[in-house]
Chain A
Amino acid sequence: MRIAGVTRELPDVFTWVLEPPAPFVFSPGQFNMLYAHGAGEVPISISGPPGELVHTIRAVGAVTRVMQRMTAGDPIGVRGPYGTAWPLDELRGKDVIVVAGGLGLAPLRPAILELLGRRDDFGAVTVAYGARSPEEILYRDEVRAWRARFDVDVEVTVDRAGRDWHGPVGVVTRLVAAASLDPKRTVALVCGPEIMMRFVLRELEARGVGADRVWLSLERSMKCGVGLCGHCQLGGRFVCKDGPVYRADRVAPLLYVREL
Chain B
Amino acid sequence: MENLERFLREHPLLRGLPTEHIASLVGCVANRRFEPGDFLLFEGQRDGQIFLIREGTVAIESASPGGPPSTIETVGPGDVLGVSWLTPAREHFDCRARERVVALVIDQSCLRAKMEGDPRLGYALASRLLQLTYERLSRLRLQRMDLYR
Contacts and interface: CB of A to CB of B under 8 A. Distances in A.
Tell me if chain B binds chain A: yes
A102 interface: yes
A171 B142 contact: yes
A130 interface: yes
Interface string A154-188: 00000111110110111101100010000000000
19 contacts: A101-B147, A132-B146, A132-B148, A132-B149, A162-B70, A162-B71, A163-B59, A163-B71, A165-B71, A168-B57, A169-B59, A169-B73, A169-B74, A174-B139, A178-B76, A193-B147, A195-B145, A196-B142, A196-B147
Assign chain A's interface to a size class: 20 to 34
B119 interface: no
Contacts of A163: 59, 61, 68-69, 71
Given A102-B147, A178-B76, A193-B147, A173 B71 contact: no
B145 A166 contact: no
Contacts of B138: 199
Interface of A: 101-103, 130-132, 136, 159-163, 165-166, 168-171, 173-174, 178, 192-193, 195-196, 199
Most chain A CB atoms below 10 A, which of B57, B61, B71, B147? B147
Given A195-B142, A196-B142, A168 B74 contact: yes
Given A161-B70, A196-B147, 9 more contacts: A102-B148, A132-B149, A159-B143, A160-B70, A162-B71, A163-B69, A163-B71, A170-B74, A173-B139
B11 interface: no
A192 B147 CA distance: 9
